Copies of this chain bind each other. A is one copy, B any other.
Amino acid sequence: MVTEKSTSGVSRRNFLQAVGAGSSAGVMFATMGAMGLAPTAAAQPRAESWVPPRGSDFSLTGRSAKKVVVVGAGPAGLATAYELQKAGYRVTVLEARHRPGGRTLTIRGGDSETDLDGVRQTARFADGVYMNAGAGRIAQWMVTLDYIRELGVPYEVFTNANADAYLYNERSGATPGNPVRYRTAKADVFGYTSELLQHAADQGALDQKLTAADKENLRTFLRSWGSLKSDGTYTGGSNRGYEVYPSAWNEHGTPLPGPGTVSEVLASKVGQYFPFEINWEQSMLMFQPKGGMDTTYKYLVRAIGNQNVHFESPVTGVENTSRGVRVTYTPKNGRPRQVEADFAVVAAPAGLMRRWDTNWGPAVDAALGEFSVGSPAGKIGLQYRSRFWEDDHRIFGGITETDMDLAHVWYPSYGYGERKGLVVGYYNTGTNARTYADLAPKQRELRAVEQGVKIHGEKYRTELESSFSIAWHKVPYIEGAWAYPNTSSAGFRLLQEGAGNVYFAGDWMSEVSAWQHGAFWSARYAVQALHQRVMSS
Contacts and interface: CB of A to CB of B under 8 A. Distances in A.
A221 B271 contact: yes
A13 B8 CA distance: 72
A55 interface: no
B511 A262 contact: no
A278 B209 contact: no
A210 interface: yes
A443 to B, nearest CB: 33
Contacts of A213: 263, 267
A85 interface: no
Contact of A157 (B156, B251, B278): B156
Contact of A518 (B17, B241, B247): B247
A99 interface: no
A500 to B, nearest CB: 19
Interface stretch (A121-129, A187-195, A337-345, A378-386): A187-195
Interface stretch (A102-110, A158-166, A445-453): A158-166
A141 interface: yes
Nearest to A507: B248
Given A140-B395, A509-B249, A254 B48 contact: yes
A518 B398 CA distance: 26
A283 interface: yes
Q: Which size bracket describes the interface of A in this complex?
A: 35 or more
Given A287-B396, A417-B149, A278 B183 contact: yes
Contact of A247 (B22, B196, B221, B517): B517
Contact of A218 (B201, B266, B416): B266
A272 interface: yes
Nearest to A48: B244
A303 interface: no
A247 B394 contact: no
28 contacts: A44-B250, A140-B164, A140-B396, A156-B156, A164-B285, A183-B278, A190-B278, A196-B206, A197-B200, A200-B206, A214-B262, A217-B269, A218-B266, A221-B271, A224-B275, A239-B275, A239-B279, A239-B280, A239-B283, A245-B517, A246-B510, A247-B510, A247-B517, A247-B524, A249-B509, A250-B487, A250-B492, A287-B396
Interface of A: 6, 8, 13, 17-18, 20-22, 44-46, 48, 140-143, 149, 155-157, 159, 161-164, 183, 186-187, 189-190, 193, 196-197, 199-201, 203, 205-206, 209-211, 213-214, 217-218, 220-222, 224-225, 227, 238-254, 262-263, 266-267, 269, 271-272, 274-275, 278-280, 283-285, 287, 394-398, 416-417, 487-488, 492, 496, 509-512, 517-518, 521-522, 524-525
Nearest 8 A/B pairs, CB to CB? A205-B205, A200-B200, A163-B283, A247-B521, A248-B510, A248-B521, A217-B266, A157-B157
